[in-house]
Amino acid sequence: MLILLASLPPPTESLPFPISSSHWCYQIQLKPSNYTCLGPDEWEGSCQNSRQSPVNIVTAKTQLDPNLGRFSFSGYDRKHQWVVENNGHTVMVSLGDEVSITGGGLSTRYRAKQLHLHWSKAMDRGSEHTFNGERFAMEMHIVHEKEKGPSRNTSEDEIAVLAFMVEVGSNNVNFQPLVEALSDIRRPNTNTTMKRSISLFDLLPEEESLRHYFRYLGSLTTPTCDEKVVWTVFQEPIQLHRDQILAFSQKLFYDHDQSVNMTDNVRPVQSLGQRQVFRSGAPGPLLSQPLPTLLAPALACLTVGFLR
């Protein structure tokens, strides 16, 4: 399939929206740029509003929602040599037009546009969302757009992001085509094509584990932080070898001169405020924890996967 590079979207989640904040940067870039860019405290657009992302997910405070069932993934099994781009803020894989999701408590079909990652050189500092205050090594976002019906509307669930934590584990051969592509796109605004074909499923945890997730309404985590994202944060992390994780910080640069390693591209956690985080209601095992004796077995069966 041909990917039309000219139609590739602008930075990270901010897909088809105007970029009104051209000089935004992450905290770590402020000093080396002599504070000439706007750090997270000064991000514009909706970034200083009250329904922002990422958030800390306190698992004990999440509310079970039986409507949050399994996702149906379409095109996630399709192998392809994807185009990978350093866009100055992250590494982004463009996903064409043939990948989509339904189910998972979403109101309609959402079409995948791109995936990208957030990371750090420290293994406990690279995720944007946190679980009970715990940060992971990386976080991967697959960004989907709501399929437009006849009445185009801008609502709070215009974009669906599937978020996956990444933790240190054994070598993940399925990720290698992406990791190897990094060497070709060290500088911002460069792109390359993966040398081998992979599918999205190749990058994800076991499909069976994908029925366990958290759900809340929030925003893009990059300017202009539009509050139109229905977030799905999966409980089961992806595992990558430490060297695969470090490759992102070592190979990629924020700047053309290759003086500032691209790392810590992570927005600080935002206040949850009045929002509720829900958890999926799909029954099933993942019974790795002892059951609290107070819970009826049936209820325990539904919830225990989240009581980490």
Ligand X SMILES: *[C@@H]1O[C@H](CO)[C@@H](O)[C@H](O)[C@H]1NC(C)=O
Encoded one letter per residue, x for contact with ligand X by CB under 6 A and - for no contact, window 237-276 reads ------------xx----------x---------------
Residues 1-40 that bind ligand X (CB under 6 A): 5, 8, 33-34
Q: How far is the CB of 163 from ligand X (least distance, A)?
A: 22
Q: Is 288 in the site for ligand X (CB under 6 A)?
A: no
Closer to ligand X at the Cβ: 174 or 190? 190
Q: How far is the CB of 220 from Zn ion (least distance, A)?
A: 8
Q: Is 108 in the site for ligand X (CB under 6 A)?
A: no
Q: Is 222 in the site for ligand X (CB under 6 A)?
A: no
Q: Interacting stretch for Zn ion, rule CB under 5 A, among 36-44, 106-114, 137-145, 286-294? A: 137-145
Q: Which does 141 bind (CB under 5 to 8 A by kind): ligand X, Zn ion, none?
A: Zn ion
Closer to ligand X at the Cβ: 73 or 248? 248
Q: Interacting stretch for ligand X, rule CB under 6 A, among 39-47, 147-155, 162-170, 300-308? A: 147-155
Are 236 and 163 in contact, with CB atoms under 8 Å apart? Answer: no
Q: Please state, as a whole number, how many other Cβ atoms lie within 10 Å of the Cβ of residue 71.
A: 24
* 89 classed as catalytic: yes
Q: Which amino acid is at 197?
A: S
Q: Is 85 in the site for ligand X (CB under 6 A)?
A: yes
Encoded one letter per residue, x for contact with ligand X by CB under 6 A and - for no contact, window 37-76 reads ----------------------------------------
Q: Is 227 in the site for ligand X (CB under 6 A)?
A: no
Q: Is 215 in the site for Zn ion (CB under 5 A)?
A: no
From the list 23, 80, 89, 118, the catalytic residue is: 89
Closer to Zn ion at the Cβ: 141 or 211? 141
Q: Which amino acid is at 186?
A: R
Q: Which three-class secondary structure state does DSSP give residue 24?
A: strand
Closer to ligand X at the Cβ: 85 or 236? 85
Give the separation between CA 42 and CA 37, rounded to whole angstroms.
9
Give the separation between CA 260 and CA 36, rounded to whole angstroms.
14
Q: Which does 287 bind (CB under 5 to 8 A by kind): ligand X, Zn ion, none?
A: none
Q: How far is the CB of 230 from ligand X (least distance, A)?
A: 11
Q: Which does 63 bind (CB under 5 to 8 A by kind): ligand X, Zn ion, none?
A: none
Residues with a known catalytic role = 89
